[in-house]
Structure 1
């Protein structure tokens, strides 16, 4: 039997690495590095779920770890790597509204804000420190992923920011929400993400939102002409 205190210590170490991965996704300009960081982040979440399974013995946690490995560590990164090969964009050099340094400083504020906010929300609940910190990391990761969506111009990078937000939802749900509900939501979200990535791969969303809209209008015009 593994000591629960030892497992709890490992989970707290993983919390630190999850935050580091979120900071790297915000600041890194190389798309391959962003994808690798997202894959590592997803693997860390799967490891957290596995360690929680070893602590609590709930089979749903083991199922969630397997689902995370399959979809977020293998399947979705494979789709994105294929998109990278097709659109041939190695770097996302342009930022909207927020530069990486500003985003990192704002991220620190968001982590502190999440801590204060959740400490007030959960002050009347008998929530252990581990589960409280897990909720804080989950909310912080969601907000940091939102910063990526807000600050990046390339649509493929925005998609990675959205996926990082989803990881934050997963982390928050691991420590606060019922596990069967999380699994159902993640399956639906992953299916939506895969459809979106397939659309990107088919249309060639190799630039900003504006560029994609221009390409999509051309497809609509072409489809309208064919229907006539």
Structure 2
């Protein structure tokens, strides 16, 4: 059990490092691959937290298939089709974004330490990593101009929800967990349609240009 806890904490630390990488990188391909790797790490968490059984295997397989393989493949295909490689200058610079990410992460650990958690969860990294990942997703959504980068922010935000849900996966019905993954998949497909339509109509994915549509 101790070895499992150490492995899960290692995975969660890597998730936090990938948050920082995504916040500080301008290369869309590298950011998509980082989010894919984050999805692969998250797929291990149910197995490490609750052991091997049909429930955790199905949840891990679903997370790996969607978060680690299918959705990153769709996004990589999208950036090839629209021929973009880098994020334009963000609304908040990369260095300030990293500083805010570090502050949010530190605040997540401080806040999680004050929560009345059960002893088994109080010493773990699930809750602070979940909060830090949520904040990183919100920050990416708010600070980037490219629609694809904002989709990545949405994915990271959902990863934070998934981490927190992993603690409750034995209590939650499987249909609820499958519904979360389905909502994620549908959301990405909708964003893919929006991205394609924006690029077709305006020949750009810079969401700031949409302000020109105001009357």
Partner residue, 1:134: 126
Partner residue, 1:226: none
Aligned pair in 2 of structure 1 residues 156, 213: CA closer, same or farther (>3 Å)? Answer: farther
Instruction: Determine which of 111, 116, 120 is the counterpart of 2:110.
Output: 116
Instruction: Determine which of 44, 51, 56 is the counterpart of 1:61.
Output: 56
Task: Mark the structure with the bigger radius of gyration.
Answer: 1
Partner residue, 2:36: 39
Partner residue, 2:73: 78
Partner residue, 1:147: 139
TM-score, scaled relative to structure 1: 0.82
The answer as to 2:99 corresponding to 1:101 is: no
With 74-83 and 185-194 compared, the bigger mean Cα shift is at 185-194
The answer as to 2:3 corresponding to 1:6 is: yes
The answer as to 2:42 corresponding to 1:48 is: no
Cα offset for 1:41?
0.6
Cα offset for 1:194?
1.8
Query: 8 Å contact 2:146–2:207 — kept in the other structure?
Result: yes
Query: 8 Å contact 2:113–2:122 — kept in the other structure?
Result: no
Cα offset for 1:106?
1.5
Any idea what the Cα deviations from partners look like across 1:109-166, whole Å, max 9, x if unmatched?
1122222223333x2x424146742011011101011111111111111111111111
Aligned pair in 2 of structure 1 residues 191, 168: CA closer, same or farther (>3 Å)? Answer: same
Q: How far apart, CA to CA, are the structure 2 residues paired with 1:128 and 1:160?
A: 32
Q: How far apart, CA to CA, are the structure 1 residues paired with 2:113 and 2:178?
A: 26
SS in 1 for 2:89: coil
Q: How far apart, CA to CA, are the structure 2 residues paired with 1:94 and 1:184?
A: 36
Query: 8 Å contact 1:86–1:201 — kept in the other structure?
Result: no
Query: 8 Å contact 2:47–2:56 — kept in the other structure?
Result: yes
The answer as to 2:205 corresponding to 1:207 is: yes
Q: How far apart, CA to CA, are the structure 1 residues paired with 2:69 and 2:122?
A: 28
Task: Note the residue ranges of structure 1 that are not aligned, 5 or more in a row.
Answer: 218-228
Q: How far apart, CA to CA, are the structure 2 residues paired with 1:213 and 1:68?
A: 36
How many correspondences in the alignment? 207
Aligned pair in 2 of structure 1 residues 176, 118: CA closer, same or farther (>3 Å)? Answer: farther
